[in-house]
Structure 1
Amino acid sequence: MNRKEEFIEWFRKFFDEYYYETYRVYEPEGRNESEARFIVDALDLPKGSSILDIGCGYARHAVYLARWGYRVVGIDLSNFLLNKAGERCRNFGVNVKLLQMDMRRMDFYEEFDGAYIFYTTYGYFSDEENLKVLENIHRALRKCGRVLIDIWNKVHTYARFYNSRNDTICTWYYLGNYLILEEMKLDMLNDRVNSKRRFFKDSREVTSKAFSLRLYSLCEMIEMFNHVGFRLLKAFGSYRGEDYRITSPRLIMVAEK
């Protein structure tokens, strides 16, 4: 398999047991609850509202929203993570409706008061397909419904590569029980970051994973919001609710239908 082929439909293979084993230890419940509280505060919807968690993973935020009185539906493409989400919901004693679904093919119609795509789950696809996701969200929301989208800050990401004096950043780190070598490459022609992670355990490579993200600026996101019928309400730069700035690590937007 050549490097270009690694990034075709990469998301169908990325979110498996290796993803869960490495990310789960990085996501303690204190962090999960704090981020869930940020989602609730940012969307500013009353308890009892119906909320769609797009790319819900193992329901690390959805269980808290359900516990706090929201009616939550979670969708994800990964059957492995949905099974983990089911276990997590049972452990929390909450009811979250879980569906295996590709966000590009969502067909809800005015069923939700709010929706969120959290922790860099937007930008997986081509520009046309990413726009289609926004159209699907717009259709899924009722009048005055709100969506929260959390992505990397494009300016901050470019600055990382600029400061490295290279279009490739290689990093070794431990996560879970694995030693990981990550090679991140900036594709300036397509405004994407392409990353390959090699997983090592007991001095041998056990697997490798690739992912590719489209980087969007606030200006580009506002243009897409306007195209599908959203208006931007607020842009945050962190999960602490700080205003978005050029130096913010993240770009977190709340828009209204």
Structure 2
Amino acid sequence: MSDWFTKSFGSDYLIVYKHRDLQGALLEVKRMIDWLGLPQGAEVLDLCCGMGRHSMALDEFGYKVTGVDLSDVLLAEAKRMDTGGKVRWLKGDMREVPLADTFDAIVNLFTSFGYFEDDAENGKVLREIDRLLKPGGKFIIDFLNPDYVAASLVPESERKEGDMTIRETRRIEDGYVRKRIAISEPGEPERHYQEQVKLYRPEQFMKMMEGTSLEVDHLYGDYNASEYDAKTSPRIILVGHKEG
């Protein structure tokens, strides 16, 4: 499953995750703006931007936004929705972003981390954030909370989207949360996808940041700015800055 993301973030992803809406992204970005404390016109990188919901919300609030993602399908959807062409969209791997620019802030949202089996590969993402941030620049990493996931995991679910049936199974094993998705339609072969995210706790993020100039200033447990609690918080939201 080392390259599961090259298959999973295709056209079916747009259907499986279509419930993620722009209004929700706007509310989350409002909170992020408070945390980042940046003036309008600041340059922001949305690393692993997906369909671009947060990138476009950041643009709406007056920032100069670049969205980077590896998926051609998701970038095409982002460009389709960005009718004014306001965001700069770029294809790239988060471990080696094809940019020499530096940014006032970088956001990595909705568990767009932990995709790789090797800690060193996941650590490369943090080093890229370090490289791409201006001195004093801010970052936000929004990740799942492993203990909360373990306590609330729904092992199986099934739902309909028109004639399409989407079945999802979820489990935690070997330090990962893993999801298998089966999509069936009348007269079509069943399609299968796998997703996995390596589970990290805050102290493991801190360990991986050693050797970078990144410093975590605050840990939140959700977008209501609740303090992070290892047992009850749904998210681990790291807000910090680059020293220098």
Q: Does TM-score exceed 0.5, indicating one fold?
A: yes
Equivalent residues, number: 239
Change (3 A) 1:109 1:49: same
Q: Partners of 1:61 and 1:51 in 2: how far apart?
A: 11
Q: Partners of 2:133 and 2:98 in 1: how far apart?
A: 11
Q: Partners of 1:175 and 1:61 in 2: how far apart?
A: 27
Q: Partners of 2:157 and 2:171 in 1: how far apart?
A: 15
Q: Partners of 1:203 and 1:173 in 2: how far apart?
A: 19
More helix by share: 1
Choose from 41, 45, 67 the match for 1:48. 41
Choose from 223, 226, 238 the match for 1:239. 223
Does the 8 Å CA contact 1:173/1:181 hold for their aligned counterparts? yes
Q: Partners of 1:104 and 1:176 in 2: how far apart?
A: 34
Does the 8 Å CA contact 2:22/2:57 hold for their aligned counterparts? no
Q: Which moved more, 1:176-185 or 1:48-57?
A: 176-185
> How well do the aligned residues superpose, as a CA RMSD in angstroms?
1.9
Please state how far the C-alpha of 1:216 moved relative to its aligned partner: 0.4
Does the 8 Å CA contact 1:225/1:232 hold for their aligned counterparts? no
Q: Which moved more, 1:26-35 or 1:125-134?
A: 26-35
Equivalent residue, structure 2, for 1:254: 239
Choose from 76, 96, 102 the match for 2:93. 102
Equivalent residue, structure 2, for 1:115: 106
Identical counterparts, % of pairs: 30
Choose from 6, 10, 13 the match for 2:4. 10
Equivalent residue, structure 2, for 1:73: 66
TM-score normalised over the length of structure 2: 0.91
The unaligned stretches of length 5 or more in structure 1 are 1-6, 162-168
Q: Partners of 1:67 and 1:229 in 2: how far apart?
A: 30
Q: Partners of 2:127 and 2:45 in 1: how far apart?
A: 14
> Aligned AA for 2:240?
A
Q: Deviations for 1:144-174, whole angstroms, at most 9, x for unmatched residues?
A: 111111111012123346xxxxxxx631232
Change (3 A) 1:111 1:239: same
Q: Secondary structure at the match of 2:105?
A: strand
Does the 8 Å CA contact 1:108/1:136 hold for their aligned counterparts? no
Choose from 214, 218, 221 the match for 1:230. 214
Change (3 A) 1:249 1:203: farther
Equivalent residue, structure 2, for 1:64: 57
The unaligned stretches of length 5 or more in structure 2 are none
Q: Partners of 1:219 and 1:184 in 2: how far apart?
A: 25
> Aligned AA for 1:248?
S
Change (3 A) 1:41 1:205: farther
Does the 8 Å CA contact 1:108/1:139 hold for their aligned counterparts? no
Q: Partners of 1:107 and 1:29 in 2: how far apart?
A: 27
